[in-house]
Chains A and B, each alone.
Chain A
Amino acid sequence: MQSTAAKSDEHEKSDPKEKKAATEHPSGDKRFKVLDITMKRNQYRQDALIEVLHKAQEAFGYLEEDVLLYVARNLKLPLSRVYGVATFYHLFSLKPSGSHTCVVCLGTACYVKGGGEVLASLEKQTGIQQGETTADGEVSLITARCVGACGIAPVVVYDGTVAGKQTSEQALEHIKGWIK
């Protein structure tokens, strides 16, 4: 924290022309460029924090500490604030997720139509609980509060593709290739 604050002060004093050089990430990782563009488009406004975190998660897959530090420094926000926001919202993840994601909807409609059973069989098959990722980093099993496709409940979202009226058998069939 100490070093962040110091850096942020330094940043404020620096000439605006040097902004780019001052914020460039030392690792040279191209993905930080995406963040730069987003922050610039939002004129480095502090209220754009959630937007920036969305972009960061899209680019990196999750919000690693380095990314949170980078965002905090550039938006001139205390790291505690950035961390506080990142942990408050369910969609932000501070842990890496698997190559494949399987989101089981547990909204009321899905729940009364057997979404819970679909989840249970997926948990059994993958050997992990909801919210976890398999040890080989292949599959993340996630639950959603409601994806708003209640007319076709129960719903499972496989790698971003919504599938309706799922049974345990269909779900297991779908993730078959994902498990090694």
Chain B
Amino acid sequence: MDLAELREIGEKERTAQKPIRVHCCTSTGCQAANSLGVKKNLENTCKEKKMGDRVQVVGVGCMGFCGRGPLVQIEAQNKLYEEVTPDDAASIIEAIAGGTASAAEGDPEHPFFARQMRIVRETSGKIDPERIEEYIAVGGYEPLYKAIHDLTPSETIDEVSKSGLRGRGGGGYPTGLKWATVAKMPGQQKYVICNADEGDPGAFMDRSVLESDPHRVLEGMAIAAYAIGASEGYIYVRAEYPLAIERLQKAIKQAKKYGILGSQIFDSPFDFKIEIRIGAGAFVCGEETALIQSIEGGRGNPRPRPPYPAQEGLWKSPTLINNVETFANIPAIIREGGAWYAGIGTEKSKGTKVFALTGQIRNNGLIEVPMGITLREIVEEMGGGVPNGKVKAVQTGGPSGGCIPASLLDTPVDYDSLVKIGSMMGSGGMVVMDEKTSMVEVARFYMEFCRGETCGKCIPCRAGTVQMYQMLTKILNREATLQDIVKLEQLCDMVKNTSLCGLGMTAPNPVMSTLRYFREEYLTLLKDSPNGKVPAGTAASITS
């Protein structure tokens, strides 16, 4: 297939599309609220009213406003309906021809939507993720064609380097540098791995990208494979995401059928095939060396680095591992150029980031915002704040991150600013907590998580997380003394500095950040703090 043929497929698809497309979300969140029933009734009404010649009901991916699903959108009329029930369907179709829909109408101009800048999610919620033709119709796979035919592998890497894109899995390592390292390694056999083992509780960006636009991820992987000289790739996806797996499988099949994956892609000597590997529920497998072990069929135990996977990865071959969102950025970077991407965001954090905004907040869902936006803009303007009460803290980065107090809401969201205040970007989970939340309990919640998820290979992590959990329990049971808090801090320090992999190194973060910002809460729970009061003198001496 050449470019003209690819464009012809897109053109054919666009001509076949009806002028009015009724988008009905079919992602996990909305499906759980019976969006498939809504979609069926929308289709039936269309048929009954004989509107099929100009109205088309399309099952699309996530539109972002997951907390108010099922969502139905009519783009041509700038209409968005929220919490739609199957009974509302008929009135929505009738409203197209004039009339009022019984479903609650949302505001597409609300800051939740208006403040977003969509690159990764540019077509999410607008196209049917189960049809490759729809992806091609919006210009999909043209960047891959461009890379293969107009750019050399090193020019492709240059564009990515120029874009300033950093790994979206949380680490923030420069993507271009990673690609260049793998490309430089000797050896014929190289691999590309997409890390779709989104284990962070409170995060669902990757799930949404895979469910809403699987072809974008495949295209990003193919461009990466071309750039580094790999012919095989793996997507390691969580078993907890059955819909994402199903849609990926479909997408791979379709791409193969069109000759976009497989051998001699776009009539070039470039071959690339992708296999799906399904995880089995282990948080540590998000760590790259553990993930490789798991793909090889073993226990997901991490190993010390170096050698890095870029030098010695899957089956001892040089391996490029990037996160779903990182790959999903690539097609746009190749299409628009690295310089364009570098114009977005802050000096050291370029582009946009997708966040899962959840917890005690009015507007729950997925947002994609340019880096550098402040937490306050996200939580208060876009998220609409806490329904009853005030924000107490925002937890970012999952078990590897920390709790940011309300007083620091003006912090800009970028890799370095978040690390500076003791949290991290992580993969992009953002859980808002209101004043009723006990921060000590939150810390224990994360420690319970880490205790259960440690692979057990290194002692600091295996024993340290258990000890920390017990100490936090002791505090919550009002049996601890000030001495225990000092011990807890020492333990945090030790686990952080001596663990083998990222899981252990970051496991103390939720404890450390809550101790830093919500110390009084710990102190009021101490044994010698009668009636929940801070013992005189002690607070001042250790709060500093």
A contact set with B: CB distance below 8 Å? 45-51, 53-54, 81, 84-85, 88-92, 106-109, 111-113, 144-153, 155, 161-164
**Do A147 and B240 touch across chains, with their CB atoms under 8 A apart?**
yes
Give the tally of cross-chain contacts (CB within 8 A): 137
**Do A107 and B282 touch across chains, with their CB atoms under 8 A apart?**
no
The docked-state distance in angstroms from the alpha carbon of A49 to that of B295 is 9
For A91, list chain B residues within 8 Å (CB): 239, 280-281
For A107, list chain B residues within 8 Å (CB): 201-202
When A112-B431, A151-B67 are in contact, do A50 and B280 touch as well, CB less than 8 Å? yes
**Do A148 and B207 touch across chains, with their CB atoms under 8 A apart?**
yes
The docked-state distance in angstroms from the alpha carbon of A110 to that of B293 is 31
Name A89's contact: one of B203, B282, B442 (CB within 8 Å).
Answer: B282
Name B66's contact: one of A54, A113, A151 (CB within 8 Å).
Answer: A151
The docked-state distance in angstroms from the alpha carbon of A148 to that of B282 is 15
Minimum CB–CB distance from B431 to chain A (whole Å) comes to 5
B348, CB-defined interface residue at 8 Å? no
Name A145's contact: one of B241, B449, B455 (CB within 8 Å).
Answer: B449
**Do B69 and A150 touch across chains, with their CB atoms under 8 A apart?**
no
**Do A113 and B360 touch across chains, with their CB atoms under 8 A apart?**
yes
**Do B455 and A108 touch across chains, with their CB atoms under 8 A apart?**
no
For A88, list chain B residues within 8 Å (CB): 282, 299-300, 455
Per-position contact with A for B420-441: 1 when CB-CB < 8 Å, else 0?
0000000001010100010000
The docked-state distance in angstroms from the alpha carbon of A45 to that of B279 is 17
The docked-state distance in angstroms from the alpha carbon of A88 to that of B298 is 9
When A84-B299, A148-B207 are in contact, do A54 and B283 touch as well, CB less than 8 Å? no
B308, CB-defined interface residue at 8 Å? no
The docked-state distance in angstroms from the alpha carbon of A147 to that of B297 is 23
The docked-state distance in angstroms from the alpha carbon of A47 to that of B207 is 25
For B294, list chain A residues within 8 Å (CB): 50
Minimum CB–CB distance from A39 to chain B (whole Å) comes to 12
**Do A150 and B395 touch across chains, with their CB atoms under 8 A apart?**
no
**Do A150 and B358 touch across chains, with their CB atoms under 8 A apart?**
yes
Minimum CB–CB distance from A105 to chain B (whole Å) comes to 8
B contact set with A: CB distance below 8 Å? 28-29, 31-33, 65-67, 69, 198-204, 207, 238-241, 277-283, 294-300, 356, 358-360, 364-366, 395, 398, 429, 431, 433, 437, 442, 445-446, 449, 453, 455
The docked-state distance in angstroms from the alpha carbon of A91 to that of B300 is 13
For B296, list chain A residues within 8 Å (CB): 47
For A48, list chain B residues within 8 Å (CB): 297
For A49, list chain B residues within 8 Å (CB): 297-298
**Do B360 and A112 touch across chains, with their CB atoms under 8 A apart?**
yes
Name B203's contact: one of A46, A150, A161, A162 (CB within 8 Å).
Answer: A150
The docked-state distance in angstroms from the alpha carbon of A163 to that of B365 is 16
Most chain A beta-carbon contacts within 10 A, residue among B66, B201, B445: B201
**Do A85 and B203 touch across chains, with their CB atoms under 8 A apart?**
no
Which residue of A has the minimal Cβ distance to B434?
A112
Which residue of A has the minimal Cβ distance to B356?
A150
For A84, list chain B residues within 8 Å (CB): 299
For B201, list chain A residues within 8 Å (CB): 106-109, 111, 145-146
The docked-state distance in angstroms from the alpha carbon of A150 to that of B67 is 8
Minimum CB–CB distance from A48 to chain B (whole Å) comes to 6
The docked-state distance in angstroms from the alpha carbon of A81 to that of B238 is 22
Q: Enumerate 21 A-B pairs (CB-CB under 8 Å) in ascending A order.
A: A49-B298, A51-B277, A54-B278, A54-B280, A88-B282, A88-B455, A90-B280, A91-B280, A91-B281, A107-B202, A108-B395, A109-B358, A112-B433, A145-B281, A146-B199, A150-B203, A150-B358, A151-B67, A151-B69, A152-B67, A152-B69
Minimum CB–CB distance from A36 to chain B (whole Å) comes to 18
**Do A85 and B297 touch across chains, with their CB atoms under 8 A apart?**
yes
When A148-B204, A152-B364 are in contact, do A89 and B281 touch as well, CB less than 8 Å? yes
The docked-state distance in angstroms from the alpha carbon of A5 to that of B125 is 54
**Do B445 and A148 touch across chains, with their CB atoms under 8 A apart?**
no
**Do B298 and A150 touch across chains, with their CB atoms under 8 A apart?**
no
Which residue of B has the minimal Cβ distance to A105?
B201
When A146-B203, A148-B198, A162-B32 are in contact, do A50 and B455 touch as well, CB less than 8 Å? no
When A88-B299, A150-B203, A151-B364 are in contact, do A108 and B239 touch as well, CB less than 8 Å? no
The docked-state distance in angstroms from the alpha carbon of A110 to that of B66 is 14
The docked-state distance in angstroms from the alpha carbon of A162 to that of B241 is 11
For B202, list chain A residues within 8 Å (CB): 107-109, 146, 150
For B298, list chain A residues within 8 Å (CB): 49, 81, 85
Shortest 7 CB-CB distances between A and B: which pairs?
A151-B66, A89-B280, A107-B201, A90-B281, A108-B202, A146-B201, A47-B297
**Do A148 and B295 touch across chains, with their CB atoms under 8 A apart?**
no
Minimum CB–CB distance from B10 to chain A (whole Å) comes to 31
**Do B29 and A108 touch across chains, with their CB atoms under 8 A apart?**
no
For B239, list chain A residues within 8 Å (CB): 54, 91
Name B32's contact: one of A45, A109, A155 (CB within 8 Å).
Answer: A155
Minimum CB–CB distance from A97 to chain B (whole Å) comes to 14
Minimum CB–CB distance from A108 to chain B (whole Å) comes to 4
When A113-B360, A164-B33 are in contact, do A148 and B280 touch as well, CB less than 8 Å? no
**Do B445 and A111 touch across chains, with their CB atoms under 8 A apart?**
yes
Minimum CB–CB distance from A106 to chain B (whole Å) comes to 8
The docked-state distance in angstroms from the alpha carbon of A30 to that of B69 is 43
**Do A109 and B29 touch across chains, with their CB atoms under 8 A apart?**
no
**Do A51 and B32 touch across chains, with their CB atoms under 8 A apart?**
no
For A152, list chain B residues within 8 Å (CB): 29, 32-33, 66-67, 69, 364
Minimum CB–CB distance from B284 to chain A (whole Å) comes to 9
